[in-house]
């Protein structure tokens, strides 16, 4: 079955296809409406060197960020722990929290991303994580007894003040639901079309078989009637008497014709003789002649009689 046959089948079963497509569209719209959008905020922080690690007289600390990349990785790893993210996640259970190195920056930059169901929740969770970065960095350096002048510090480069509305999730879900409904509609319509066409073909085949069977029965009945007409009473009598073969109508006709010929021949022989006896009295010569004639004709009459 090619695409054209499939399309023709869908058109034939429009009463399944059209409602199915309408239902698919309705389900997609309902999914889009029911799935709420999400709000996303991001912040970027940068590790800065301590004043004691910068050469005397240097006024640009951004020139000395080369050795801070490993420290940024350590801070990110601690920020991802349940010890830090756990309390924030408990306060914002519907929020998605993410802390990672900023892949677009080669320096010790940390990116914090918060996705929540409301703008207020996203803002609150982001502020809490931004504050935790400085706390974590200070605690790690204090544990290592780093002097305050040599301790690194955190500088917040960017922090969103407004959330970005994310529609991707609801669009993906709506498209998935609509596609599944359309696919189900096409499958159901194709199955209905196939079942109906198969039933019709089976019905036509059954009608042809019944017609053929009826015609065969008629032929058998006609043949039986012809055989019954060919059986004559003489044949039945001959069969009953144990004859070698059935007496056919032609044989019976030949026998009847032979008997009639024999009777006619005997009548033809007797009539002239009776006429001669009644018409005159024969003389001696005629009697002798008649005797001679009778002697000559007797074999003929015998042959006719036989």
CATH number for the domain spanning 91: value is 3.30.70.1130
- For residues 266 and 150, state if they share a domain: no
pLDDT top residue among 36 and 266: 36
Encoding tokens for residue 40? 């996303």
Q: How would residue 293 be classed by pLDDT, with cut points 50, 70 and 90? A: very low
pLDDT computed for residue 304 by the predictor: 38
Phi, psi of 46 (to 5 degrees): -130, 135
pLDDT computed for residue 22 by the predictor: 94
Q: Which residues of 279-297 are buried (b: 16+ CB within 10 A; e: fewer)?
A: eeeeeeeeeeebeeeeeee
- Domain final residue pick, 117, 140, 166: 166
Residue 211 lies in a domain: no
- For residues 52 and 161, state if they share a domain: yes
* 240 backbone φψ class: left, alpha, beta (φ>0; ψ -120 to 50): alpha
CA dihedral 143, 146, 149, 152 (to 10 degrees): -70
What CA–CA distances, in Å, run from 167 to 29, 40, 116, 292? 14, 11, 13, 146
Residue 77 lies in a domain: yes
pLDDT computed for residue 201 by the predictor: 74
Rounded to whole angstroms, the Cα distance separating 33 from 258 reads 112
Task: Please give the share of the chain, as a percent, with pLDDT higher than 90.
Answer: 39
Mean of pLDDT values over 157-166 = 91
The domain tally of the chain equals 2
pLDDT top residue among 76 and 105: 76
Mean of pLDDT values over 267-296 = 43
Q: How would residue 199 be classed by pLDDT, with cut points 50, 70 and 90? A: confident
Is 60 exceeded by the pLDDT of residue 228?
Answer: no
CA 78 to chain centre: 55
Residue 264 lies in a domain: yes
Per-residue model confidence as pLDDT tens digits over 138-159 = 999 999 999 988 899 999 999 9
Residue 216 lies in a domain: no
pLDDT computed for residue 111 by the predictor: 95
Mean of pLDDT values over 279-293 = 44
Residue 87 lies in a domain: yes
Task: Give the highest mean pLDDT range of 2-11, 237-246, 253-262, 285-294.
Answer: 2-11
Residue 241 lies in a domain: no
The range of the structural domain enclosing residue 255 comes to 249-305
pTM for the model: 0.55
- Domain final residue pick, 166, 181, 199: 166
Mean residue pLDDT across the chain: 76
- Domain final residue pick, 139, 166, 193: 166
Is 70 exceeded by the pLDDT of residue 14?
Answer: yes
Residue 110 lies in a domain: yes
Residue 217 lies in a domain: no
Q: How many residues does the chain have?
A: 306
pLDDT computed for residue 23 by the predictor: 94
pLDDT computed for residue 132 by the predictor: 93
């Amino acid at each position: 079955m090619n695409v054209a046959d499939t399309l023709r089948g869908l058109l034939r079963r429009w009463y399944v296809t059209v409602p199915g497509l309408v239902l698919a569209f309705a389900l997609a719209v309902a999914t889009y409406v029911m799935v709420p959008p999400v709000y996303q905020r991001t912040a970027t922080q940068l590790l800065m060197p301590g004043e004691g690690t910068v050469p005397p007289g240097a006024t640009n600390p951004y020139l000395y960020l080369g050795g801070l990349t490993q420290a940024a990785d350590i801070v990110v790893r601690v920020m991802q722990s349940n010890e830090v993210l756990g309390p924030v996640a408990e306060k914002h259970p519907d929020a998605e929290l993410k802390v990672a190195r900023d892949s677009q920056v080669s320096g010790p930059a940390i990116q914090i991303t918060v996705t929540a169901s409301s703008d207020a929740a996203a803002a609150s969770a982001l502020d809490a994580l931004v504050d935790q970065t400085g706390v974590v960095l200070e605690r790690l350096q204090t544990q290592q007894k780093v002097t305050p002048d040599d301790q690194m510090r955190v500088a917040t480069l960017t922090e969103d003040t407004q959330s970005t509305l994310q529609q991707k999730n609801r669009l993906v879900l709506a498209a998935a639901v609509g596609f599944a409904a359309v696919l189900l509609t096409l499958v159901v319509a194709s199955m209905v079309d196939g079942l109906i066409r198969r039933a019709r073909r089976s019905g036509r085949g059954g009608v042809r078989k019944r017609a053929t069977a009826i015609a065969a029965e008629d032929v058998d009945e006609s043949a039986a009637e012809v055989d019954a007409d060919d059986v004559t009473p003489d044949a039945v009598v001959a069969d009953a008497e144990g004859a070698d073969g059935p007496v056919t109508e032609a044989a019976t006709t030949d026998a009847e014709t032979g008997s009639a010929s024999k009777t006619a021949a005997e009548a033809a022989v007797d009539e002239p003789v009776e006429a001669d006896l009644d018409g005159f009295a024969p003389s001696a010569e005629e009697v002798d002649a008649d005797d001679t004639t009778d002697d000559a004709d007797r074999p003929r009459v015998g042959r006719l009689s036989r």
